[in-house]
Amino acid sequence: MKLLKYLLLAALSVSLAFTQAGCQKQQTPPTVDLTSEEAIAEQKKFDEFIQSELVASAESDYLTTHIYFEHPENYGIDRSKVEVTLGYLEDDDAAYQERVEETQATKAALDAFNRDLLSDQQKDVYDNYLETIELDIARNDEKFRYVGGGFDTMTGLHTQLPTLFADYILRDEQDLKDLIVLINDVKPYMDSLLEYTKKQAEKGTLMIDLDTVIEDSKKTYNEGENSAVLTSMFATIDSLDLSDELKNQYKAELKTAFMDSFIPAYGAIIETMEGLKDSKNNTQGLYYLENGKAYYELLFKDKTGTSRSIEDTQKLLDELAYEMITAAQKIAMTDRNAYETWAYNEADTGYTDFESMLADLNNWFKQDFPDVGDIDYEIKPLDPELAVSGIAAYFNIPAIDGTTKKQIRVNTNKDALVIGSLDTFSTVAHEGLPGHMYQTSYAYKNIPNVFHNLFANNLGYTEGYATYVEFYALNYLSDVPENIRTLQKVMSIYSNCLIAQLDIGIHYEGWSLDQVRQYMEDNGLNAAAAEVLYAQLQSNPGAFLSYYVGYAELNELEKEAKAALGDKFTAMGFHQAILEAGSVQFDIVKRHVNQYIEENQ
């Protein structure tokens, strides 16, 4: 399951964690001497354990090692032990039990440490990792074995593979040889995932938008040797310092692998999904699967990183939505011109290219966010054939010891982005500065624990933070009237809250399409879009929770800090507090915000 593990880590869905005990933990009790011999020994032992976890994780997964390390040997990782493979989905009972036992062994190793003797930074690592492992143990329960899968319409394997290989980094000739091996591995890996999917049909847990997966897969399959993925890989080969003869030789080998493995993998998807049309397939929420509601509770924790119950989160979203719509109504009543300008999408930032936009953000954000030095970056347009509907842009996570430019890819299709719009400005801030690109740069520079940097990747925090800064960055558009900027923010947040509520309604409470339509009508959303939105949320459980619940959590922390500090509150100080722990569960972020408050009251 190595490839799926990497894609979930890098794409867009990584394990997060929650335990009631973890929520109650505090930092070091005042009576503990962290400089004692016993404490120093425990801290050293913990560092060694985490280092061993880093090495084991990297050496067991080629993609992790290749993507995240330019020089893995500098981190104790032995390249010779890293098998060049995508792996495959091992679903036999022995392999399943082995995964269960490995996770339990990791928890036992963590439980053996005396947490009180660890440094505060180590406690962050410990708490986040323990919660991750405990969530993994819960999800490893036999009753969830065939719930979920790899064919969500937004982030399924069939949508991620083209991007993975089109953006694939080649640093030298050996990387190119390895790439050819990986392309040859696509068909066997896909076959293993499709066998798992067939078992889901047998078990009655199949839940796939078959027609959409077939439609998307046909686009890739029909491109054949004219695929933009192959063209992109050829262009990367051309950038290597190799003779023309060698380049042509490798291109021929890569093309053969692509046509013999990559393209047939998509043919297999189409054939399998067509064959499953006669099977029982749940076209409603997870609520309607056996154990589906319990599975969603775990998925919710994984996606959001919050310790709140689903019910408490619903209350939080309701309160935030009410606050936002009230602010919007006030502007609509007092500044009709601003409201109509915003409502008819007539607001314009004046930008005509992405480069100028990001350059200005690079100048502006430094007054409010901790300095990380100069960030070397580039913006590259996506090939139209690779652009996924609904994804305007994305940030490619760089190697932790990388020397290449950090990269943002933008969807330049006309239906994806209008360069001068407020939405596009927010998207660039979200993916770039002070969003993902900055947050990653900050973590790589300031958080020394490499394992924590790479594997404590809490999607609720990461996407919640990027959503927070996309709204914060609107403050910098001084040429756009304030009321228009405020409407952009509050109405976006309002819509986000409602979509998160719909996700919960469909998968946790079992809402039907009619209930979704009614909820949209009651709350001022375009009910004509109900069917499309229902289909998207139904086939992608929790897809938007990381963004919208994550934002709501950070918004609450900001409110608490402002209320406690009053005039002593600074954006710089708050941003330092929410960045310094890394991408972690929100109870850990809250500890740092509380410390910021205590130090500045």
Q: What is the pLDDT of residue 457?
A: 83
On whether the CB atoms of residues 165 and 233 are closer than 8 A, the answer is yes
Place of tokens 């941003």: 575
Residues 219, 131 share a domain: no
Which of 261, 109, 90, 296 minimizes the C-alpha distance to 179?
A: 261
- Please tell me the least confidently modeled range out of 29-38, 204-213, 324-333: 29-38
Tell me if 261 is assigned to some domain. Answer: yes
Tell me if 89 is assigned to some domain. Answer: yes
Residues 170, 249 share a domain: yes
Q: What is the pLDDT of residue 392?
A: 82
Listed in sequence order, the residues at least 6 apart from 527 whose beta carbon sits closer than 8 Å to its beta carbon are 517, 520, 521
Tell me if 74 is assigned to some domain. Answer: yes
3-class secondary-structure state, position 378? strand
Residues 88, 68, 226, 178, Cα dihedral to 10°: -60
Structure tokens given for 263: 């393209």
Whether 26 shows a pLDDT value over 60: the answer reads no
- Over residues 541-566, the mean pLDDT reads 99
On whether the CB atoms of residues 294 and 7 are closer than 8 A, the answer is no
Q: What is the pLDDT of residue 260?
A: 99
Q: What is the pLDDT of residue 283?
A: 97
Residues 174, 106 share a domain: no
Q: What is the pLDDT of residue 177?
A: 99
Question: Is the pLDDT higher at 411 or at 479?
Answer: 479
DSSP for 270-329? Answer: HHHHHHGGGS----S-GGGSTTHHHHHHHHHHHHH---S-HHHHHHHHHHHHHHHHHHHH
Q: What is the pLDDT of residue 12?
A: 31
Tell me if 108 is assigned to some domain. Answer: yes
Model confidence band, residue 414 (pLDDT cutoffs 50, 70, 90): low
Model confidence band, residue 27 (pLDDT cutoffs 50, 70, 90): low
Residues 253, 132 share a domain: no
Total domains present in the chain? 4
Residues 274, 187 share a domain: yes
Q: What is the pLDDT of residue 390?
A: 63
The CA-atom distances, in angstroms, between 392 and each of 7, 75, 598 are 19, 35, 40
- Over residues 363-372, the mean pLDDT reads 98
Q: Which of 278, 307, 323 is the last residue of a domain?
A: 278
Q: Which domain holds residue 26?
A: 2-144
Residues 396, 370 share a domain: yes
Question: Is the pLDDT higher at 46 or at 449?
Answer: 46
- Please tell me the least confidently modeled range out of 85-99, 395-409, 497-511: 85-99
Residues 437, 413 share a domain: yes
Model confidence band, residue 29 (pLDDT cutoffs 50, 70, 90): low
Model confidence band, residue 384 (pLDDT cutoffs 50, 70, 90): confident
Whether 178 shows a pLDDT value over 60: the answer reads yes
Whether 8 shows a pLDDT value over 60: the answer reads no
The CA-atom distances, in angstroms, between 410 and each of 99, 182, 424 are 38, 26, 10
Tell me if 468 is assigned to some domain. Answer: no
Whether 136 shows a pLDDT value over 50: the answer reads yes
Burial 432-442 (b: 16+ CB within 10 A, else e): bbbbbbbbbbb
Tell me if 226 is assigned to some domain. Answer: yes
- pLDDT, one tens digit per residue, over 94-116 is 988 999 999 999 999 999 999 99
Q: What is the pLDDT of residue 2?
A: 46
Residues 488, 366 share a domain: no
Model confidence band, residue 22 (pLDDT cutoffs 50, 70, 90): very low
Place of tokens 């609520």: 287
Q: Which of 406, 423, 449 is the last residue of a domain?
A: 449
Structure tokens given for 203: 């078990």
Tell me if 585 is assigned to some domain. Answer: no
- Over residues 441-469, the mean pLDDT reads 93
Q: Is 47 exposed, middle or buried (0-12, 13-18, 19+ CB in 10 A)?
A: middle
Q: What is the pLDDT of residue 389?
A: 61
Model confidence band, residue 437 (pLDDT cutoffs 50, 70, 90): very high
Question: Is the pLDDT higher at 5 or at 556?
Answer: 556
Residues 338, 352 share a domain: no
- Please tell me the least confidently modeled range out of 32-36, 45-49, 176-180, 557-561: 32-36
- pLDDT, one tens digit per residue, over 223-266 is 999 999 999 999 999 999 999 999 999 999 999 999 999 999 99
Q: What is the pLDDT of residue 90?
A: 81
On whether the CB atoms of residues 12 and 457 are closer than 8 A, the answer is no
Residues 175, 106 share a domain: no
Question: Is the pLDDT higher at 448 or at 288?
Answer: 288
- pLDDT, one tens digit per residue, over 531-541 is 999 999 999 99
Residue 524: count other Cβ atoms within 10 Å of its Cβ: 13
Q: What is the pLDDT of residue 30?
A: 60
Residues 42, 172 share a domain: no
Whether 454 shows a pLDDT value over 90: the answer reads no
Q: What is the pLDDT of residue 416?
A: 64
Whether 554 shows a pLDDT value over 70: the answer reads yes
Tell me if 473 is assigned to some domain. Answer: no
Mean pLDDT of the chain: 93
3-class secondary-structure state, position 434? coil
Question: Is the pLDDT higher at 380 or at 310?
Answer: 310
Question: Using the 8-state DSSP alphabet, how is residue 187 labeled?
Answer: H
Question: CATH code at 411?
Answer: 3.30.2010
Residues 9, 139 share a domain: yes
- Over residues 407-424, the mean pLDDT reads 85
Phi and psi, residue 182, nearest 5° = -65, -40
Place of tokens 């067939």: 198
Listed in sequence order, the residues at least 6 apart from 108 whose beta carbon sits closer than 8 Å to its beta carbon are none
Q: Which of 112, 144, 176 is the last residue of a domain?
A: 144
Whether 341 shows a pLDDT value over 90: the answer reads yes
Residue 470: count other Cβ atoms within 10 Å of its Cβ: 24
- pLDDT, one tens digit per residue, over 564-576 is 999 999 999 999 9
Structure tokens given for 42: 């425990």
- Please tell me the least confidently modeled range out of 28-37, 68-77, 301-310, 496-505: 28-37
Structure tokens given for 492: 């976006």
Q: What is the pLDDT of residue 13?
A: 29
On whether the CB atoms of residues 426 and 270 are closer than 8 A, the answer is no
- Taking the C-alpha atoms of residue 527 and residue 379, their distance in angstroms, rounded to an integer, is 36
3-class secondary-structure state, position 505? helix
On whether the CB atoms of residues 462 and 10 are closer than 8 A, the answer is no
